[in-house]
């Protein structure tokens, strides 16, 4: 299968604005045949993105997107839980509203290093593509958080694809919370049995898709002149890095410190992946402030609460103390 046009959707609010823009710019750098549907989840985010008028992007406001089902449960979910609840609905909206033949949901904190077309080609005649967390042994949380990661999920607009998507959307509206309960966790553990529950489900095999802080320990990272390669330590097979998931990264103390994540990271991973990404985020933030002095995109403004939460998470799941580095802003 050769994908002539790749359709993607994502959602984020103003707290994730620089990440969402970095994801878009990385996609733009490596793809000439894509369209991205962005669902801004607050007014500030929508206003800024409207001013930017990004190429190959369609904005979908909350007013357009939210239906009675979503609005009926919105007050019952935290901000993050509502985003999780709405993920499947964004894909459903794009496929039905715009009549697309396929769409892939992207987390806003993904960053592309080569075209995702190689990942979508792998789906071939399948209707659904899901990505395994591929946890490193010391971070295996499949039982709690699910085998698969809702970070890069592809659906065709056909009977098999829509059957799974409608089921997922309905289940998330019924229950989608940031806790483990009755075999569920957020929107994610619903995917655990999809290979047996639904037809034409493919689990991504290309290791270059889905590299993340919970599995990067399994790979050697090689920086080339034009791309980055990962080498699986067990098989010694090499793959071009397609995207990395910058999960948990937080700015603190006016952008001079960064909490990278709650996982152990080697120095080469930090230098090759994290530092360029951080500086890209800061450059985007600076450009936004130059565009409009009233624009002040915040990266996790409630730092004290967030940091306390991470300390509790470290204790609960026995994750090493989060990496923290200092950077220069500007």
pLDDT of residue 306: 42
Q: Could you tell me how many residues make up the chain?
A: 330
pTM for the structure as a whole: 0.90
Mean pLDDT by 10 residues, the chain (330 residues): 80 94 97 96 94 96 97 96 98 98 98 97 94 96 95 98 98 96 96 98 97 97 91 96 95 73 90 92 87 58 39 38 59
Our measurement of the distance from residue 317's CA atom to the centroid of its chain's CA atoms, rounded to an integer in Å, reads 22
The dihedral built from the CA positions of residue 66, 281, 179 and 182, taken in this order, carries a sign that is positive
Q: What does the longest C-alpha to C-alpha distance in the chain come to?
A: 53
Residues 192, 317: Cα–Cα separation, whole Å: 21
Residue of 287, 301, 299, 329 lying closest to 17 (CA atoms): 299
Our measurement of the distance from residue 281's CA atom to the centroid of its chain's CA atoms, rounded to an integer in Å, reads 15
Our measurement of the distance from residue 191's CA atom to the centroid of its chain's CA atoms, rounded to an integer in Å, reads 16
Half-sphere exposure of 13 (CA within 13 A, CB side): 15
Residues 230, 240: Cα–Cα separation, whole Å: 6
pLDDT of residue 327: 61
Residue corresponding to tokens 């985007």: 284
Q: Are 89 and 166 a contacting pair, CB within 8 Å? A: no
Residues 88, 122: Cα–Cα separation, whole Å: 22
**Structural domain 6-211, CATH architecture:** Alpha-Beta Complex (3.90)
Q: Which DSSP letter does residue 71 get?
A: H
Residue corresponding to tokens 């801004």: 40
Residue corresponding to tokens 């985020």: 281
Residues 205, 198: Cα–Cα separation, whole Å: 19
pLDDT of residue 308: 44
User: Does residue 204 sit in helix, strand or coil?
Assistant: coil
Q: Which residues in 151-190 are b (16+ Cβ under 10 Å) and which e?
A: bbbbbbbeebbbbbbeebbeebbeebbeeeeeebbbbbbb
Question: Any idea where the domains of the chain sit in the sequence?
Answer: 6-211
């Amino acid at each position: 299968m050769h994908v002539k046009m790749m359709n993607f959707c994502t959602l984020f609010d103003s707290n994730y604005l620089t990440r969402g823009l970095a994801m878009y710019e990385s996609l733009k750098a490596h793809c000439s045949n894509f369209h991205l549907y962005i669902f801004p989840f607050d007014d500030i985010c929508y206003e800024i993105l409207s001013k930017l008028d990004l190429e190959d992007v369609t904005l979908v406001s909350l007013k357009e997107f939210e239906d009675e089902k979503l609005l009926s449960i919105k007050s019952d979910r935290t901000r993050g839980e509502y985003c999780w609840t709405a993920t499947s609905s964004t894909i459903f909206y794009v496929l039905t509203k715009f009549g697309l033949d396929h769409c892939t949901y992207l987390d806003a904190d993904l960053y592309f290093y080569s075209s995702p077309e190689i990942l979508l080609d792998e789906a071939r005649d399948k209707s659904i593509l899901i990505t395994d967390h591929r946890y490193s042994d010391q971070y295996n949380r499949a039982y709690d958080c699910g085998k698969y990661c809702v970070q890069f999920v592809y659906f065709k607009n056909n009977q098999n694809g829509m059957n799974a998507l409608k089921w997922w959307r309905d289940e998330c509206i019924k229950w989608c919370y940031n806790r483990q309960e009755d075999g569920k966790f957020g929107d994610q553990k619903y995917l655990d049995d999809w290979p047996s529950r639904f037809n034409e489900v493919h689990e991504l095999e290309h290791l270059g898709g889905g590299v993340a802080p919970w599995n990067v320990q399994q790979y050697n990272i090689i920086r080339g002149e034009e791309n980055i390669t990962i080498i699986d330590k067990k098989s010694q097979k090499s793959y071009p890095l397609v995207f990395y998931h910058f999960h948990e990264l937080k700015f603190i103390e006016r952008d001079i410190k960064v909490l990278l994540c709650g996982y152990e990271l080697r120095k080469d991973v930090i230098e090759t992946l994290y530092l360029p990404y951080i500086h890209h985020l800061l450059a985007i933030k600076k450009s936004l402030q130059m565009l409009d002095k009233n624009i002040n995109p915040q990266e996790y403004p409630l730092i004290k609460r967030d940091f306390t939460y991470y300390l509790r998470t470290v204790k609960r799941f026995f994750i090493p103390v989060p990496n923290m580095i200092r950077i220069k802003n500007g």
